[in-house]
Amino acid sequence: MGRAAVFDVDGTLVDTNHLHVTTWWEAFRQAGHRVPMHAIHRAVGLASEDLIAHLLGGRDRDEVDGLVAAHTTLYATYFERLPPLKGAGRLLRRLDHDGWNVVLATSAGGHELSALRRAIGADTAVAATASADDVEAGKPAPEPVEHALELAGVPPESAVFVGDTVWDMRAGTRAGVTCVGLLSGGIPRADLQEAGACAVYRDPAHLLEMLGDSPLAPDTEAIREGDL
């Protein structure tokens, strides 16, 4: 049946959380809303409509659509220069080599997802991608992680979910998988642990360095022949 290594993308594999903060702040500003950047940062990781509701409360459909469109347009200006986090591509390739089914679980879709995957540069290691567009509820609901497990064809006990926000940890915990947190999204270690992370690392490079002692440690019987 195998094992699944499920990864959030923004803030986990690509250094984009603060780009999202800035572009959401500008989208809100253009619509006449004064939202502190620290509040936006804590909401990053939620699907767009959920982020708006979390920060502004209930809004009519037209206003929500306008805010989402503004953020999308602003964020798209960075698509050709999104910075991968150190070790992101090497980590995914190593896990694929070690026999893990690598699945991305992200709220991004379309051109944004394509830009993120180009930044990571490890498409050959990615078995599948679960987008928020494929489920009714985004993180912290468990559906995105559960969908990733369906794509990988593994039960929760055979999966590890790696993310950088409390929303990731809550979604993974509710889906019944082992959760690993990364500090690269800017969320404190204690918050990630309280939300369900059983281990926390600085970034993908640190997780790769500590892989042998992590929840993603290689199973020597499952490792395929060949070099990275």
Q: Does residue 205 sit in helix, strand or coil?
A: helix
The encoded tokens of residue 107 equal 């709220």
> Looking at residue 218, what is its pLDDT?
86
- Torsion angle of the four alpha carbons 38, 50, 7, 203, in this order, in degrees rounded to the nearest 10: 0
Give the architecture (CATH level 2) of 17-77.
Orthogonal Bundle (1.10)
Task: Decide if 160 contacts 178 (C-beta within 8 A).
Answer: yes
Condensed to tens digits (0 to 9), the pLDDT of residues 146-166 reads: 999 999 999 999 999 999 999
Residue 219 has pLDDT above 80, yes or no: no
Round to whole Å and give the CA distance between 185 and 42: 10
Given 3.40.50.2020, 3.30.70.20, 3.40.50.1000, 3.40.50.150, which CATH number is that of 3-15+83-213?
Answer: 3.40.50.1000
**For 9-21, what is the mean pLDDT?**
97
